[in-house]
Amino acid sequence: MAKKPLILVTNDDGITAPGIRALISVAKEIGDVVVVAPDSPQSGMGHAITINSTLHLDHVHIDDDSKNEYSCSGTPADCVKLAINEILDRKPDICISGINHGSNSSINVIYSGTMSAAIEAGIEGIPAIGFSLLDYNYNADFTAAKKVAKTVLKNALKHGIPNDIVLNVNIPNISKKDIKGIKVCRQARANWKEEFDKRQTPHGKDYYWLTGKFVNLDKGKDTDEWALENGYVSVVPVQFDLTAHHSIQQLNTWDFND
Amino acid sequence: MAKKPLILVTNDDGITAPGIRALISVAKEIGDVVVVAPDSPQSGMGHAITINSTLHLDHVHIDDDSKNEYSCSGTPADCVKLAINEILDRKPDICISGINHGSNSSINVIYSGTMSAAIEAGIEGIPAIGFSLLDYNYNADFTAAKKVAKTVLKNALKHGIPNDIVLNVNIPNISKKDIKGIKVCRQARANWKEEFDKRQTPHGKDYYWLTGKFVNLDKGKDTDEWALENGYVSVVPVQFDLTAHHSIQQLNTWDFND
């Protein structure tokens, strides 16, 4: 019998979130599973790492059949670093992150703790996938998302993810039968139009809550936003070489000697 | 007389750090300056944003001639969002971030609060540059870095930075006369080899400090690492479309229907 793949599972919503419990159940159908995830929600943490404070790691028992699960006081990227360096005795075959409660499509990839965990694994040479369901509810229905995660995970293990690439998988918030398929896409050009909610403390000092509206600036039918709006799962290959190679020529016309 | 450019200055080491004071002095030679920067160090914050807690903003007075300076309780990305939406009455002509105390070359761009501020500005359609000096000391000598920052800033205002690109400028820790020039580069392929420092609390519980060693895996002479090691300033054009367009074809061979 072939050796089972070793699957590292993490997320940014915290180790008890229903999304990661769903992803763990998928991973257990396919391989040996180790979970290292934040002990509290870390949404919007981007690729933060903990360098000015200490990190704590606890062996935890959440489900009846959970043995290899660790909660970590740090960020999603910290979880991956600790898993690889302190917990696992060999390199995992794949790292999966999520299932996030909410979208990480388009520009949200930049702010996403879910994707930062996957990217951290990618940087360390481990194939990695982040999964997100477009439903922010704690009690979201992960039935369709689980099926998608299993399909993508099996493909990734079979075909291998290209080097230095991680996958950003977003799943529309519709029922399994309404999902039209899985599309490989590019990241749509979009941004957030911030609307700060300005309030006053009981002591009369101003403070702000960050809120905003997502604005899709990109009508391309090859984008993740188009796919999701039209009933498809989006798979965007994400790279961590951020060099805009195409603009190097233009910058070489600048005069740096004045 | 031509209208002076409006320059937004931020950083991740905090508003009182010598690096941002150096950058402010450069900016003031060229334009009208508004500073919105974190009230405390935010190194390693990546592209974190504050969504689960409140944000505070204070009009502060640090130098004798500082009028338009605000400290913010949030991350570097929060600072840029607040500056654009709550403080400035028009879009700045450019946003500059730094001068960071320490390197943001190669893969460090991913973890960098300095660069996340620049990238946030870029996402909002504002030309942006992050500056970093390869010296982690609080009392680093910013003389050479200031000259470099002025040269790059003037070029950016004159030529314009390509759309959807921000610049990652790293300055070697050598004297002004020893700097050989400014090179446009690509990001070197590198990672950190973590070495967690495992300790025990006075109560006998394990905890960790994240430490590590930077490992350059890339011998290319067109990389930022090569430039910096050889006495050059590196300028890497950075994009926030993370799509690995070159791998889409390969992923389209996967079978998502099983």
Question: A182 in contact with B at a CB cutoff of 8 Å?
Answer: yes
Contact flag A46-B254 (C-beta cutoff 8 Å)? no
- Measured in degrees and rounded to the nearest 5, phi and psi for residue A184 equal -80, 130
For residue B246, the distance in angstroms to the closest alpha carbon of chain A comes to 9
User: Percent of chain A, pLDDT > 90?
Assistant: 87
CATH at residue B89 = 3.40.1210.10
Q: Is the pLDDT of residue B125 over 60?
A: yes
Residue A1 is predicted with a pLDDT of 53
Between residues 17 and 46 of chain A, which touch chain B (CB distance below 8 Å)?
41, 43-46
Mutate to test the interface with B, among A251, A253, A255, A258 (most CBs of B within 10 A): A251
Task: Write out chain A residues lying below 8 Å of B109, CB-based.
Answer: 242
A195 falls within a domain:
no
Q: Any known ligand binding at A43?
A: yes
| Residue A75 structure tokens | 């960020």
In terms of Cα–Cα distance, which of B168, B188, B164 is closest to B234? B168
Task: Write out chain B residues lying below 8 Å of A247, CB-based.
Answer: 162, 165, 237
Cβ(A118)–Cβ(B251) under 8 Å?
no
Residue A253 CB contacts under 8 Å (≥ 6 apart), including other chains: B159
Residue A258 is predicted with a pLDDT of 62
Mutate to test the interface with A, among B40, B47, B200 (most CBs of A within 10 A): B47
Contact flag A196-B240 (C-beta cutoff 8 Å)? no
pLDDT in tens, B7-66: 999 999 999 999 999 999 999 999 999 999 999 988 777 788 888 889 999 999 988 777
Burial label for A33, CB within 10 Å (0-12, 13-18, 19+), is: buried
What mean pLDDT comes out for the span A103-123? 96
Q: B65-78: string of b/e by CB count within 10 Å (b at 16+)?
A: eeeebbbbbbbbbb
What value does the mean pLDDT of chain A take?
A: 94
In terms of Cα–Cα distance, which of B94, B97, B115, B96 is closest to B157? B94
Q: How confident is the model at residue A46 (pLDDT cuts 50, 70, 90)?
A: confident
- Measured in degrees and rounded to the nearest 5, phi and psi for residue A125 equal 85, 20
A208 falls within a domain:
no
Contact flag B151-A256 (C-beta cutoff 8 Å)? yes
DSSP letters spanning chain B: -PPPPEEEEE-SS-TTSHHHHHHHHHHHHHSEEEEEEESS--TT-TT----SS-B-EEE---STT--SEEEESS-HHHHHHHIIIII-SS--SEEEEEEEES---TTHHHH-HHHHHHHHHHHTT--EEEEEES---TT---HHHHHHHHHHHHHHHHH-PPTTEEEEEEE-SS-GGG--EEEE-BPP-EEEEE--EEEE-TTS-EEEE--EEEEE----TTBHHHHHHTTEEEEEEEES--B-GGGHHHHTTS-TT-
Q: State the count of interchain CB pairs (< 8 A) between A and B.
A: 224
A207 falls within a domain:
no
B202 falls within a domain:
yes
- Measured in degrees and rounded to the nearest 5, phi and psi for residue A233 equal -80, 140
Which amino acid type is present at position A137? N
Write the residue in B54, B187, B209 that is nearest to A209 by C-beta.
B54
For residue A180, the distance in angstroms to the closest alpha carbon of chain B comes to 11
Write the residue in B51, B162, B248 that is nearest to A210 by C-beta.
B51
CA atoms within 13 A on the CB side of B147: 16
| Residue A246 structure tokens | 């195409």
Domain that holds residue B55: 6-251
Contact flag A242-B164 (C-beta cutoff 8 Å)? no
What mean pLDDT comes out for the span B235-248? 97
Residue B195 is predicted with a pLDDT of 87
Residue B236 CB contacts under 8 Å (≥ 6 apart), including other chains: A242, A243, B105, B109, B167, B168, B170, B184, B185, B186, B187, B224
| Residue A139 structure tokens | 């009690």
A181 falls within a domain:
yes
- The span from the CA of B171 to the CA of B238, in Å, is 16
B256 falls within a domain:
no
Residue B52 is predicted with a pLDDT of 83
Residue B204 CB contacts under 8 Å (≥ 6 apart), including other chains: none
Residue B238 is predicted with a pLDDT of 98
Task: Write out chain B residues lying below 8 Å of A51, CB-based.
Answer: 43-44, 210
- ipTM of the predicted structure? 0.92
- The span from the CA of B249 to the CA of A220, in Å, is 17
Measured between its terminal Cα atoms, the distance across chain A in Å is 68
Between residues 48 and 67 of chain B, which touch chain A (CB distance below 8 Å)?
48-52, 54-57
pLDDT in tens, B167-215: 999 999 999 999 999 999 999 999 999 889 999 999 999 999 999 899 9
Task: Please count the structural domains in chain A.
Answer: 1
Contact flag B46-A47 (C-beta cutoff 8 Å)? yes
B258 falls within a domain:
no
Residue A136 CB contacts under 8 Å (≥ 6 apart), including other chains: A101, A102
Residue B229 is predicted with a pLDDT of 97
Q: Which residue has the tokens 């790059």?
A: B152
Which amino acid type is present at position A27? A
Residue B116 is predicted with a pLDDT of 95
- The span from the CA of A185 to the CA of A235, in Å, is 6
Residue A11 CA, distance from chain mean position: 7
A118 falls within a domain:
yes
Question: B247 in contact with A at a CB cutoff of 8 Å?
Answer: yes
Q: Is the pLDDT of residue B1 over 60?
A: no
- The span from the CA of A151 to the CA of B38, in Å, is 43
Task: Write out chain A residues lying below 8 Å of B181, CB-based.
Answer: 256-257
Task: Write out chain B residues lying below 8 Å of A253, CB-based.
Answer: 159
Contact flag A47-B205 (C-beta cutoff 8 Å)? no
Contact flag A237-B256 (C-beta cutoff 8 Å)? no
Task: Write out chain B residues lying below 8 Å of A248, CB-based.
Answer: 184, 186, 237
| Residue A151 structure tokens | 């399909």
Of A172-181, A188-197, B75-84, B94-103, give the lowest mean pLDDT range: A188-197
Write the residue in B47, B124, B256 that is nearest to A191 by C-beta.
B124
For residue B64, the distance in angstroms to the closest alpha carbon of chain A comes to 25
- The span from the CA of B206 to the CA of B36, in Å, is 38
Write the residue in B44, B155, B207 that is nearest to A56 by C-beta.
B207
Write the residue in A47, A162, A205 that is nearest to B47 by C-beta.
A47
